[in-house]
C-alpha cells in the first residue's frame, strides 16, 4: 500500500465548513465514500487531532491527510461516448445521460462519467495525467449539464461559486397531474429518516426552498421549470411529491412508472474561472419527456 501524506492550510475566504465537505471540494476526483473512509479510519487530522466528518473547520486550520495512492488512482479511463457541449483549457461542460453515475462508488467502479472523462482528457497524451475535478453532482437517474474543472485553480474558483450559491441552476421536470398555479415557491424542510434510510420532508429539518414555473400543461402531466434555492439531497423530487405532483418515473414517491426519471438539468450559469466573465449553457429536454406525455412505457 502506497500512502501519500498531504498538508493543507484551509484557504482564506471559505469560512466555516464541515470537514467532509471541505475535503470533498478540495480533492477533485475522490468520491464522497472514499473521503468518509479516510476520516473514519483516522487518516485525517485537524490541527493535530483526529476529528469526525462533521467537524466545522475554518480559515487558518491545518489538515494532515493520508491517502492510499492505490485507491486514489484506481479510476480507470474508459472509452465511453460523452456529449461535451463546451471545452477549453480550464473546464468542460457535459450533458450527462440518465442512468450514468457521475463518479465511481464501492459497488460501481466502471462506466461512470468520470471514467469517461479520464479517458477523454488523457488519451492523446497520457503523460499529462489530467484529473477531472467535480464541483457539483447529479443523481444517477437525472440527466443534464455538469461542469468539470481541468485543473486545481479552476476547481477551487468554481467550487467557491457553488459554495456561495452564485451559480444559476435550472431543471426541467415532467410531473404527474395538472399543476394549477402558473408559478410558485415550495418551502418544506428536508431531513434524513435514519430508520428508513431515505430523505424526505421532515419537521424541524433544514429549510429547503424550490421555485417553479409551469411551461406546459398536457393531458395528465405538467412540464415544470424548477430552480433549487437550497441544495438538499433529492430536493426536487421531494418537493414535487410534497405538493402532490411527483416526478414521472419517481415511483418511490408515487410517480407513474416510466423507463427513466423525467428530471433534466437544462441550464447552468456561472463565471468563467479565467476572467470571471458570466457564461451560460443550456440543453433542451430529452425526447423521452414528450413520449411519456402520451403513453406509459
Taking only the tens place, the pLDDT of each residue in 253-262 is 999 999 999 9
Query: What is the Cα–Cα distance from 297 to 12, expressed in whole angstroms?
Result: 52
CATH class of 75-164: alpha beta
70, 108, 127, 139: the catalytic one is: 139
Top-confidence residue, 103 or 82: 82
Query: What is the Cα–Cα distance from 277 to 231, expressed in whole angstroms?
Result: 24
Query: What is the Cα–Cα distance from 53 to 89, expressed in whole angstroms?
Result: 33
Taking only the tens place, the pLDDT of each residue in 95-124 is 999 999 998 776 777 899 999 998 998 876
Closest by CA to 220, choosing from 272, 178, 189, 248, is: 178
Is domain 3-72 classified as CATH 1.20.58.1290?
no
Helix (H) or strand (E) holding 23: helix 19-26
Reply yes or no on whether 139 is catalytic. yes
Residues of the chain with CATH 3.30.2350.10: 75-164, 169-265
**Residue 205 grid coordinates:** 429539518
Report pLDDT for 66. 86
* 245 burial via Cβ count (<10 Å: 0-12, 13-18, 19+): buried
Enter the pTM of the model: 0.78
Query: What is the Cα–Cα distance from 284 to 264, expressed in whole angstroms?
Result: 9
Q: Which residues does residue 96 pair with via DSSP β-bridges, in sequence order?
A: 144
* Fold (topology level) of 169-265: Pseudouridine synthase (3.30.2350)
Taking only the tens place, the pLDDT of each residue in 203-228 is 888 899 999 999 999 999 999 999 99
Amino acid at each position: 500500500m502506497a500512502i501519500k501524506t498531504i498538508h493543507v492550510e484551509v484557504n482564506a475566504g471559505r469560512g466555516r465548513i464541515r470537514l467532509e465537505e471541505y475535503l470533498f471540494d478540495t480533492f477533485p476526483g475522490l468520491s464522497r465514500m472514499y473521503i468518509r473512509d479516510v476520516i473514519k479510519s483516522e487518516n485525517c487530522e485537524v490541527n493535530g487531532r483526529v476529528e469526525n466528518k462533521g467537524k466545522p473547520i475554518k480559515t487558518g486550520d491545518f489538515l494532515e491527510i493520508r491517502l492510499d495512492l492505490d485507491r486514489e488512482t484506481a479510476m480507470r479511463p474508459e472509452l465511453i461516448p460523452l456529449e461535451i457541449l463546451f471545452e477549453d483549457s480550464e473546464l468542460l461542460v457535459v450533458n450527462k445521460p440518465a442512468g450514468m453515475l457521475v463518479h465511481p462508488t464501492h459497488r460501481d467502479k466502471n462506466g461512470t462519467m468520470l471514467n469517461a472523462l479520464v479517458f477523454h482528457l488523457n488519451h492523446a497524451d497520457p503523460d499529462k495525467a489530467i484529473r477531472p475535478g467535480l464541483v457539483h453532482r447529479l443523481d444517477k437517474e437525472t440527466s443534464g449539464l455538469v461542469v468539470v474543472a481541468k485543473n486545481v485553480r479552476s476547481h477551487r474558483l468554481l467550487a467557491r461559486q457553488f459554495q456561495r450559491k452564485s451559480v444559476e441552476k435550472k431543471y426541467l421536470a415532467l410531473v404527474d397531474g395538472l399543476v394549477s398555479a402558473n408559478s410558485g415557491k415550495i418551502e418544506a424542510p428536508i431531513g434524513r429518516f435514519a430508520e428508513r434510510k431515505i430523505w424526505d420532508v421532515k419537521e424541524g429539518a433544514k429549510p429547503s426552498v424550490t421555485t417553479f414555473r409551469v411551461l406546459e400543461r398536457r393531458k395528465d402531466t405538467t412540464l415544470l421549470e424548477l430552480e433549487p434555492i437550497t441544495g438538499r439531497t433529492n430536493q426536487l423530487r421531494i418537493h414535487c411529491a410534497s405538493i402532490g405532483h411527483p416526478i414521472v418515473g419517481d415511483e418511490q414517491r408515487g410517480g407513474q412508472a416510466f423507463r427513466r426519471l423525467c428530471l433534466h438539468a437544462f441550464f447552468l450559469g456561472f463565471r468563467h474561472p479565467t476572467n470571471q466573465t458570466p457564461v451560460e449553457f443550456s440543453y433542451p429536454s430529452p425526447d423521452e419527456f414528450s413520449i411519456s406525455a402520451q403513453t406509459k412505457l
